[in-house]
A and B are shown apart, each in its own frame.
Chain A
Amino acid sequence: MKAAEENVDPATPLLTVEDLQVEFDTYGGTVQAVRGVSFSVDQGQTLAIVGESGCGKSVTVQSIMGLIPTPPGRITAGSARLRGHQILGRSTVGGKEIRGAEIGMIFQDPMTSLNPTMTIGDQIAEPLQIHRGYSARDAFTEAIRLLELSKIPEATKRAQQYPFEFSGGMLQRAMIAMALSCKPSILIADEPTTALDVTIQAQILDLMQELQKETGMAIILITHDLGVVARMADEVAVMYAGKVVEYGSADDVFYRSAHPYTVGLKEAMPTNDPARQHELKPIDGSPPDLFAPPAGCGYCPRCPYAMQICSDRQPQDHNLRGHHSASCWLHHAQSDSRPETLFFKDTH
């Protein structure tokens, strides 16, 4: 593994995903769930992928993890490189398993993601035995240590209990312990706190940040909650209809929002900043049908700034400042309503 690290350019990001495309065959036809997604994440960084249901955010990370059932699913194009090595469609990289060992994953609903017939300790010990060759006894001891690391009180007793004896917050901690057992370089968290109360959510987010500081792992956080994004993310990818429509640092995306969809999301939420109170402005309409994706921009029918070209042709990614980019015709050099005044208004 050391050798693999040495022959890679140190400037290469930990994980780079380029032009990922995924489709699913269904009785109704083929759904193009992911239609060209690119992003990268570095060690110690948190990337948030944010978007509404059906935008393809979960499918994106499931493809990276090799969790897309094939058939009916199919990765039709694109690449995902871990330290420069292609991982799409493979199960190992540099002699190390990707799933579980290189990339750990936690899910939205810990109750249905754990095996109800195995004790928590055995479930955490399992990947250690499989990926790391631990003996059953050593693996269980390590499982208890991991539960302590995830701040589960009375870890020794808890390790011998079954999932039904845990609360939702405790189960999510156990999931984190399990995902981190093989010291992965990336933790993918798919809506990890959506099912939890805000107080427990705060505990879990704190725990994730703390463990990230200790281990230097990268986190890919999937969420629909802009509050959670603001709290956790260094980088943000906003997804809509199977594409990344805006990408940049958290500050870029929140304070210099460049895509009408990002602006729409912010306007649809209440703010508690007394200086920025506004009426809630819903985004009318609904996302496009991905059985027959539109020729132009997917957001066009709902976009208050839509132009003729938006419905005809797919917008390119326009680079704005640094690595901040938005896929929107408004940023094209020839657009007559270039949105300097509209979007670049620093709302802060």
Chain B
Amino acid sequence: MGDLIEARELTRFFDLGGNQRVHAVDKVSLSIGEREIVGLVGESGSGKSTFGKTLLGLHNKTDGEVIFRGETLPQKYRPADFQKLATKMQMIFQDPYSSLNPRMTVGEIIGEGLRLHFSLSPSDVKDQVVDWLEKVGLQADHMSRYPHEFSGGQRQRIGIARALILEPEFVVCDEPISALDVSVQAQVINLLGELKQTMGLTLLFIAHDLSMVRYVSDRMAVMYLGSLVELGKADEVYFNPKHPYTEVLIGSNPEPDPNLEKGRASTSIQGEIPSPVNVPSGCRFANRCPKVLDVCRGKTPELIPVKDEDRLVACHLVS
């Protein structure tokens, strides 16, 4: 399984003026293999979405590079780059309400990519749109309706159809299910799973629902305050977390099982994720870590492989 896309020390800072910078994504290296689903988890403010957007070029890179099929992508995209890459990479957004243009019909929204990138006749575009509406579980006559006529779950399907109609190779799904009800979440997840099978999709699946990420992903990556702290097979990371932050995150995830919940000791940690403007030196998790050592405050741990395991962890305790 070759790598489809690779981030090498990808960095994205936001300038606040006055020498202050938000360290949203700081030297994150991650490669995603073909037909692989990598789940990216972390608290809000950990830089998950910024990483996804920088990977696609929706944010300029402050530093580092992105390599797609062996080709290094530009630091800053020009319109021609978007034109070229849009057919290869797409994004599905979190909020199905604000990510669809309310003045366009569903047919226009889904077909826009085809019209812009391929010289197809209007009837061909229409045929493909109908085809995709059916693939995502909607009906052909929904084409002429507007987004406000649909429920959240249906809009999310419209967003999926819009992203996938160009048959991209790589898709970033930024919290695609968190705005949806439980029964509808399962519909969207199963749909993505089916499309992965039939189209050979590669996905970066950003979410905060840990159970869902474990269910969906081949590998799971954990981010904290702009850096990657753990990466490994989804089941292994979930059931046997090595980094203290992963442990806390998974320990806080309530399971739909009263006996399990009542038997569980409280694992909640004090404090909240610090501001990404003044990033602490040393390990960024040190001030909240229940297992903190002296060395953690001075020296930043590298993301390195765990001995005899297919796992990367950035923690002094593990190395």
Binding site for B on A (CB under 8 A): 52-53, 167, 169-170, 197-203, 205-206, 224-231, 233, 250-251, 254-255, 264-266, 268-274, 279-284, 286, 348
Contacts and interface: CB of A to CB of B under 8 A. Distances in A.
5 nearest A-B residue pairs (beta carbon): A227-B254, A270-B215, A283-B183, A282-B186, A226-B256
Interface string B177-189: 0000111111101
Given A52-B181, A53-B181, A201-B252, A230 B272 contact: no
30 contacts: A52-B183, A53-B181, A197-B44, A198-B210, A198-B249, A199-B249, A201-B252, A201-B254, A202-B251, A202-B254, A202-B266, A206-B266, A224-B182, A226-B182, A229-B256, A230-B256, A230-B258, A250-B258, A254-B258, A264-B183, A269-B211, A270-B211, A271-B211, A272-B239, A279-B190, A280-B186, A280-B215, A282-B183, A283-B183, A286-B151
Contacts of A53: 181
A204 to B, nearest CB: 9
B249 A271 contact: no
Given A264-B183, A282-B186, A227 B255 contact: yes
B214 A231 contact: no
A280 B189 contact: yes
B182 A230 contact: no
Contacts of B255: 227, 230, 271-273
A230 B263 CA distance: 11
Interface string B232-272: 00000011000000001101111111111100001111101
A225 B255 CA distance: 9
Contacts of B153: 286
B43 interface: yes
B43 A199 contact: yes
Nearest to B267: A202
B261 A231 contact: yes
B120 interface: no
Nearest to B44: A197
B212 interface: yes
A269 B211 CA distance: 8
A73 to B, nearest CB: 23
A153 to B, nearest CB: 9
Interface of B: 43-44, 151, 153, 181-187, 189-190, 208, 210-212, 214-215, 238-239, 248-249, 251-261, 266-270, 272-273
B260 A230 contact: yes
B219 to A, nearest CB: 17
A283 B180 CA distance: 13
Nearest to A170: B272
A280 B249 contact: no
A206 B265 CA distance: 11
Q: Name the residue among B189, B248, B252, B260 with the largest chain A CB count within 10 angstroms.
A: B252
Given A280-B190, A348-B259, A198 B215 contact: no
Contacts, number: 121
Given A52-B183, A198-B249, A167 B258 contact: no
Given A199-B268, A201-B252, A272-B214, A230 B184 contact: no
Contacts of A280: 186, 189-190, 215
A238 to B, nearest CB: 12
A200 B272 contact: yes
A205 B264 CA distance: 14
Contacts of A202: 251-252, 254, 266-268
B240 to A, nearest CB: 12
A197 B182 CA distance: 18
Contact of B254 (A200, A225, A274, A286): A225
A198 B208 contact: yes
Given A272-B239, A273-B257, 18 more contacts: A52-B183, A53-B181, A198-B249, A199-B268, A202-B252, A202-B267, A228-B254, A250-B258, A265-B182, A268-B186, A269-B186, A270-B212, A270-B214, A271-B255, A272-B255, A279-B190, A281-B186, A282-B185
A224 B181 contact: yes
Contact of A169 (B208, B248, B260, B272): B272
Nearest to A227: B254
Nearest to B179: A53
Nearest to B184: A282
A290 to B, nearest CB: 14
Contacts of A199: 43, 248-249, 252, 268-269, 272
A271 B251 CA distance: 15
B254 A282 contact: no
A169 B212 CA distance: 23
Nearest to B45: A197
B43 to A, nearest CB: 4
B252 A268 contact: no
Contacts of A200: 43, 272
A29 B44 CA distance: 40
Contact of B256 (A170, A266, A282, A286): A266
A283 B184 CA distance: 7
Nearest to A273: B257
Given A271-B256, A280-B215, A203 B268 contact: yes
A269 B182 contact: yes
Contacts of A169: 272
Given A52-B182, A265-B183, A269-B186, A197 B43 contact: yes
A130 B285 CA distance: 44
A279 to B, nearest CB: 8
B258 A251 contact: yes
Nearest to B185: A268
A19 B273 CA distance: 45
A19 B151 CA distance: 30
Contacts of B187: 282, 284
Contacts of A206: 266, 268
